[in-house]
Copies of this chain bind each other. A is one copy, B any other.
Amino acid sequence: MEQGSNRDSWIRAVRPEIKPPSLKDNTADVDRIITALERELEGETVLMDFSLIQEIPSFLRRHGYDMQAVLYKDRRDWRVMDILPPETGGALYGLAVDLGSATIVVRLVDLNNRRKVDEISFINPQIEIGPDILTRIHFANEEGGLEKCRSLLLTGINENIKFLSEKRDIDIGKIVGMSVAGNTTMTHFLLGLDPYGLCREPYIPVINKPALIEAKKLGLDIHPKAPVLIFPNVGSYFGGDLIAGILAQEIADQEDVSILIDVGTNAEVALGNREWLMACAGAAGPALEGGVASMGMMAGPGVIDRIVIEPRSDTFRIRTIGNTPPLGICGSGLIDLVAQLFLAGMIDMRGRFVEGRCGKRLRSIEGMSHLVVVASEDSADGNDLTISQSDIDALLRSKAAMYTILTTITQMIHLSMKDIRHFYISGTFGSVIDPKSAITIGMLPDLPLETYQPVGNTSLSGAELALLSREARDEIYRIRDRVTYIELNVNQDFMNLFSAARFIPHTDRSIFPSVKERSSV
């Protein structure tokens, strides 16, 4: 008898049929239980830890041989996590975690019906040490620093697990599995491993393929013996989060070539199909996260995420998140804005303001040209919202980096951009970006718009898949072993490509035919 019905689960509750002992069959109790479980699990080996064995005699005296066992499968064998009385009801739960350096998302999943129960997203508490990963790595290298990095992370995760379980009235002991996808550094922090080697030549992680670890050993407040699956990483710059993305988008299964990009401070790129898998990462600059432009902000209420400049009137039609008065702009709004300014002829292909077209919107603040996007009377805080020449330059550097990375990796493997059938853009960025604008500024290649798909948090959805399915869990190790990570060599060729990509959309306008059609220049 089995709770839930999915044979593909690697965390299961089983109620075995145990023959009671007799003078004719005086098999030892533990052997008897294990044999019954192995029968239930199609002959796969079942192991029971010593601490659980010690509890067996008193369990049997109280409940007899009728029991539920909660088990999980490690690399080869099933391990008994707990023994419960047969009448113990209620579902068993698992957690899928996207361990981001900026934001952490914890999803609570019902392991029986495989449905999402709840989800919470919170700022990575390590932000207290520094917003960027390098600051944290250096901090961890100081006396007590690593332990501090780790405990901030654990405390944050445990508090949010507690919050979720109390909200849903779930006993924490019923959370019997966890799957965590994060980049290599965040993974090291969670494991309490010094990430010192990650940012120094020759860039060596302490570990690439952690085994399943019991929650208690990691300091996670769920069932103490619950297995925690930590996604493996390919190297210092290619972590479990991207492996989760490749899994979630089934890139490694398809005949078509797909590409997955995850844009943050780094742009991480994976592409391939069922025959090959490549990956690379490169600094994309923080402009795309909205952290740099003078009016840039993270997405939130009042933040501009869409802009259209009406062709005849030059009116700026603005959409804000929550439709409240505008307060700032996020990455996708910025891309829209620059694309629209370019199409309206208000900036040229180098990104310079065209004075004759900008007219009264242009003004000089502290010697720098600014364009008023929202006048003070329309803004939320009574100040003009402006974009400066330097904001545009920063965005163009970021978009050039993105495009150059894409060009370089496709060229290295003798592929044309046209060969890419699916272009998955993950994260918040993916869900808000307008591909047409991104193509207009020459950030993304000029492919049919249906090629582009926002795919949300693929790190989280990959983590959830691996939590629920044995096949998916095995697949992440196959993906890991198949991926060829390409070190982007920032040499003269790269710099030449980069310089050409800093123009809007590109110095070679023939590779962006759709932009030429739309452009008024």
- Which residues of A does B touch, CB under 8 Å? 21-23, 25-32, 47, 50-51, 53-54, 56-58, 61, 191-194, 196-197, 201-211, 213, 217-218, 235-236, 487
Contact = CB atoms under 8 A, between A and B. Distances in A.
B193 A23 contact: no
Contacts of A26: 202-204, 235-236
B22 A193 contact: no
A54 B213 CA distance: 12
Contact of A207 (B25, B53, B209): B53
Nearest to A22: B202
Given A29-B204, A206-B29, A54 B191 contact: yes
A130 B20 CA distance: 32
Among A21, A32, A206, find the residue whose CB has the most chain B CB atoms closer than 10 A: A206
B57 A196 contact: yes
B193 A53 contact: yes
Nearest to A230: B50
Contacts of A57: 193-194, 196-197, 206
B236 A204 contact: no
A55 to B, nearest CB: 10
| Cβ-closest 9 pairs across A and B | A57-B194, A28-B208, A28-B205, A30-B207, A23-B202, A21-B204, A21-B202, A29-B206, A50-B213
Contact of A56 (B25, B32, B206): B206
Contact of A209 (B31, B56, B209): B31
A31 B202 contact: no
Given A26-B235, A57-B196, A207 B31 contact: yes
Contacts of A51: 217
Contacts of A28: 204-209
A491 to B, nearest CB: 15
**Interface class of chain A by DSSP:** loop
A340 to B, nearest CB: 44
Contacts of A209: 28, 31
Contacts of A487: 23
A196 B50 CA distance: 18
A83 to B, nearest CB: 13
A33 to B, nearest CB: 10
Nearest to A204: B21
A285 to B, nearest CB: 25
Contact of A193 (B25, B54, B194): B54
9 contacts: A21-B204, A23-B202, A23-B487, A26-B204, A28-B204, A28-B207, A29-B197, A29-B206, A30-B208
Nearest to A217: B50
Contacts of A21: 202, 204
A29 B205 contact: yes
Contact of A208 (B27, B196, B197): B27
A354 B106 CA distance: 92
A171 to B, nearest CB: 26
A53 B206 contact: yes
Nearest to A208: B28
Contacts of A213: 50
Contacts of A30: 206-208
A298 to B, nearest CB: 33
Given A30-B206, A204-B26, A54 B211 contact: no
Nearest to A194: B57
A50 B22 CA distance: 42
Given A21-B202, A207-B53, A196 B31 contact: no
Contacts of A61: 196
A28 to B, nearest CB: 4
A91 B22 CA distance: 49
Contact of A58 (B25, B58, B194, B236): B194
A25 B197 CA distance: 14
A29 B207 contact: yes
A213 B50 CA distance: 7
Contacts of A207: 28-31, 53
Among A23, A31, A207, find the residue whose CB has the most chain B CB atoms closer than 10 A: A207
Contacts of A23: 201-203, 487
Given A22-B202, A50-B191, A54-B192, 14 more contacts: A23-B201, A26-B202, A26-B204, A27-B204, A28-B204, A28-B205, A28-B206, A50-B217, A53-B191, A53-B207, A56-B193, A57-B194, A57-B206, A58-B194
A255 B10 CA distance: 48
A21 B32 CA distance: 49
Nearest to A184: B28
A217 B194 CA distance: 27
A82 to B, nearest CB: 17
A28 B237 CA distance: 12
